[in-house]
Amino acid sequence: MWRALARARAVGLWAPGGGAGAWGRGLWEGRRRPAAGAKAGVSAAARERCDGRRLRYGARGGGGGGGRGTAAGKRREASGRGGAAAPRPSPGPHGLPRSFPGRTSPAAAMPEVDTGRLDPQQVQLLAEMCILIDENDTRIGADTKKNCHLNENIEKGLLHRAFSVFLFNADNKLLLQQRSDAKITFPGCFTNTCCSHPLNNPREVEENDAIGVRRAAQRRLMAELGIPMEQVPPEEINYLTRIHYKAQSDGIWGEHEIDYILFVRKNVTLNPDPNEIKSYCYVSKEELEELLEKAASGEIKITPWFQIIAETFLFKWWDNLNHLNQFVDHEKIHRM
């Protein structure tokens, strides 16, 4: 216990009496889900440092850098943009490439990529079917999570629907997570509460008031953070707006998404899955600014979508948690 707190103090994110809200176990925790029949709890060995020195990160990165007010050029660099784009096929419907893998037969078109060295549990998730969209967020089909996250497909224009959740507790502190080292994209990076994708099923493709996306967020908050689904019903997940961004994780994997921004204000019960989350914490605005400064100096890595949102929108939204309606914009897609 003492060693874990000492590590947090060393990076300037822990102070006596600060802690993680209702849990009171210090700012960052690497909590494991208990085995069946075991008592829930957090051992000292399970608590993780947050200085980022243990992160394993792809050589091409894309998630680092960028405190509050960082120049847009740095944001573009950290988002993995730049370099020559691959030649685009002739356009099909909606102006998108005709050669989208998975348009008619995802399994047959799936590129050969060696997944033997990847985490088996994360590899299984690559078979999930994501929602393909055009640049106006119109649904045009479905494809595997694997195909949607391969850079070779992203460079051809493959685009899918996603969401990012920002959950605040009663003290108006934001819940952050550090992605596990097992994650295929942006492993070990610090990011917002939960980031994932709605699936191509009847419950999650429903678009009225983004109900399908909000149902997907409820599902993933349970899967990643162990938040009971009854604590985050879709009607308490607030849809603000959308961003469109592209970023590479490494030479093989990346992201190209229209990302729904979702806000939740509630105290919740946490029991994270260690295969998804390495550590987590609640932070104040000042503590987040410190974290962003550490990312800017290269001490830690943050995900590119979180960097973009933090630089562009987050602090303004955070200052107005009681008046978020003024920022609701379901028409515009912010091109980042």
Strands, DSSP E only, in 28-150?
129-133, 139-144
Segment 223-233 mean pLDDT: 99
- Choose between 155 and 104: higher pLDDT: 155
User: Distances in Å between the alpha carbon of 304 and those of 274, 278, 301?
Assistant: 22, 18, 9
**Would you call 152 a catalytic residue per the annotation?**
no
How far, in whole angstroms, is CA 86 from its chain's centroid?
26
CATH code of 61-81+119-335, in short, is: 3.90.79.10
What are residue 248's DSSP bridge partners? 254
48, 255, 257, 287: the catalytic one is 257
Which pTM does this prediction carry? 0.72
Point out the least confidently predicted range of 9-13, 89-93, 124-128, 259-263.
9-13
Q: For residue 24, what pLDDT is reported? A: 31
> Quick one: tokens of 245?
């961004």
**Mean pLDDT of the residues in the chain:** 77
> Quick one: tokens of 92?
């099909």
Q: For residue 175, what pLDDT is reported? A: 99
pLDDT at 93 > cutoff 60: no
CA distance 212 to 228: 18
Nearest alpha carbon to residue 255 among 66, 48, 78, 37: 78
The three-state secondary structure class of 270 is coil
Cα–Cα–Cα angle for 192, 193, 198, nearest 5°?
100
**Would you call 195 a catalytic residue per the annotation?**
yes
pLDDT at 51 > cutoff 80: no
- Does residue 210 contact residue 238 with C-beta atoms inside 8 Å? no
Q: Domain limits of the chain?
A: 61-81+119-335
Point out the least confidently predicted range of 88-102, 197-211, 262-276, 294-308.
88-102
189, 194, 195, 281: the catalytic one is 195
Torsion, Cα 73 79 83 85, to 10 degrees, reads -120
